[in-house]
Amino acid sequence: MADQETIARAAQLMRAGELVGFPTETVYGLGGDATNEGAVARIFAAKGRPHFNPLIVHVPALAEAEALARFDERARLAARRFWPGPLSLVLPRRADSRLSLLASAGLDTVALRAPAHPIAQALLRAAGRPIAAPSANRSGRISPTTAAHVADELGDSVALILDDGPCPVGIESTVLDLTGAMPALLRPGGVPLEQLAEVFGEIETIVPDDGAPRAPGRLASHYAPDLPLRLAATDPRPGEALLAFGPAAAAGFAEVLWLSRRGALAEAAANLFAMLRRLDRPEFTGIAVTAIPEEGLGRAINDRLRRAAAPRSIG
Ligand code: TXA
Ligand code: MG
């Protein structure tokens, strides 16, 4: 488990251009100094991530964020209401920010987030500079919610992994674009759409993969296990494992894991990625998932599941 001394060492490593795996309340991040082009290039290389897909830049709080992007009153309201927490804001980049151009994939906008996790907070404060951190998985694969997941996938690329056990939210931050006239949801995540709507009123939902340049990283296939995934399953197919939610009928499946027996969406979100990994074994023919309600955190869960089930374009 991460103590003060290890956090200080991790911060020092990042200041020296190295990459560090660290916990946030959503998923583990692969962090590097967002003002260091070389460190940011190493993040893309380690993940095998396409360069057109920008990274989220992490800061401790609004004060540090204001040095990197232009905040209007609406953006300040979002930060005051939801930071620290699982919301990333896409805002116009400040021309005088020292942010790596590669981090935001050459766009004139940047995605910023202040994570709530105490280890992430301590690390960001110790680093004293903005930290670019995508989820610490190989591009297109299942996101990591434990330090062991990070070690399995990216152990060779990181100088150190801060371990603080499983991530409490378990699903990535909501990405909200505040550069247009109406707030636009680019990725459903840890802050449910309903909570955003309470604050902002109407919110545009960007349907990913319609070629919309505003959601550059929203590839159809993502979060993918090796096994095929079947959604809204009711009856078993031979050799299939099941991810079940609520009072689902689970008889006849080769193995069953419960995202949440009592049908709690927050519990299901926290379990989702770790359980997908646990069932992704060659002894099964596929993974079936029962239907999950399209509300609250269920939107983010269903978004990840649809992508995990999407046809894979590249290997
Ligand atoms: O919860 C999270 O957000 C985690 C933890 C580590 O903080 N990070 C994360 O980063 O999920 P990543 O890189 O895996 O996802 C970043 C998402 C992508 O969908 C990307 O396309 C979008 O944010 N994004 C980043 N910058 C953007 C920008 N300037 N405009 C539009 N979308 C952007
Ligand atoms: Mg990711």
CA separation (Å) from 59 to 9, 84, 113, 287, 311? 18, 9, 6, 37, 35
Q: Rounded to an integer, what distance in angstroms lies between the CA atom of residue 216 and that of residue 219?
A: 8
* Nearest ligand 1 atom to alpha carbon 189: 1
Looking at the chain, which residues constitute the CATH 3.90.870.10 domain(s)? Answer: 4-205
User: Please, is 182 exposed, middle or buried when counting C-beta atoms within 10 Å of its C-beta (0-12, 13-18, 19+)?
Assistant: exposed
Proximal ligand: closest to the CA of 53: 1
* Nearest ligand 1 atom to alpha carbon 171: 1
- Order of strands, sheet of 286-289, starting from the edge strand that comes earlier in the sequence: 229-230, 286-289, 240-245, 255-260
Which CATH architecture best describes the domain 229-309? 3-Layer(aba) Sandwich (3.40)
| Beta carbon of 24 within 6 Å of any ligand 1 atom | yes
| Beta carbon of 184 within 6 Å of any ligand 1 atom | no
Q: Rounded to an integer, what distance in angstroms lies between the CA atom of residue 140 and that of residue 137?
A: 8
Nearest CA to ligand 1 atom 18: 217
Interval 211-235: pLDDT, tens = 455 666 566 778 889 999 999 999 9
Q: Rounded to an integer, what distance in angstroms lies between the CA atom of residue 48 and that of residue 314?
A: 12
Say what the pTM is.
Answer: 0.95
3-state SS assignment for residue 247: coil
Probe target for ligand 1 pocket from 102, 113, 135, 214, with the most ligand atoms within 8 Å of CB: 135
Proximal ligand: closest to the CA of 138: 2
Distance 71 CA to ligand 2 centre (A): 25
Q: Rounded to an integer, what distance in angstroms lies between the CA atom of residue 15 and that of residue 13?
A: 5
Distance 196 CA to ligand 2 centre (A): 22
3-state SS assignment for residue 47: helix
* Nearest ligand 1 atom to alpha carbon 107: 29
Tell me which amino acid residue 60 is. P
Q: Rounded to an integer, what distance in angstroms lies between the CA atom of residue 233 and that of residue 248?
A: 10
Expressed in percent and rounded to 5, the helix, strand and coil fractions of the chain are: 30, 20, 50
| Beta carbon of 88 within 6 Å of any ligand 1 atom | yes
Please check whether residue 293 is in contact with residue 271, taking contact to mean a CB–CB distance below 8 angstroms: no
Q: Rounded to an integer, what distance in angstroms lies between the CA atom of residue 177 and that of residue 203?
A: 10
The pLDDT, as a whole number, for residue 313 is 58
| Beta carbon of 140 within 6 Å of any ligand 1 atom | no
Name 152's Cβ contacts closer than 8 Å, sequence gap at least 6: none
CA separation (Å) from 243 to 259, 265, 292? 6, 13, 11
Interval 120-147: pLDDT, tens = 999 999 999 999 999 999 999 999 999 9
Tell me the average pLDDT of the chain: 94
Strand bridging mode 255-260 / 240-245 = parallel
| Beta carbon of 136 within 6 Å of any ligand 1 atom | no
The pLDDT, as a whole number, for residue 93 is 97
Low pLDDT (below 70) residues in the chain: 1, 207-219, 313-315
Probe target for ligand 1 pocket from 28, 59, 88, with the most ligand atoms within 8 Å of CB: 88
The pLDDT, as a whole number, for residue 315 is 40
Please check whether residue 104 is in contact with residue 91, taking contact to mean a CB–CB distance below 8 angstroms: no
Looking at the chain, which residues constitute the CATH 3.40.50.11030 domain(s)? Answer: 229-309
Number of H helices, E strands in the chain: 9, 14
CATH 3.90.870.10 fits 4-205, yes or no: yes
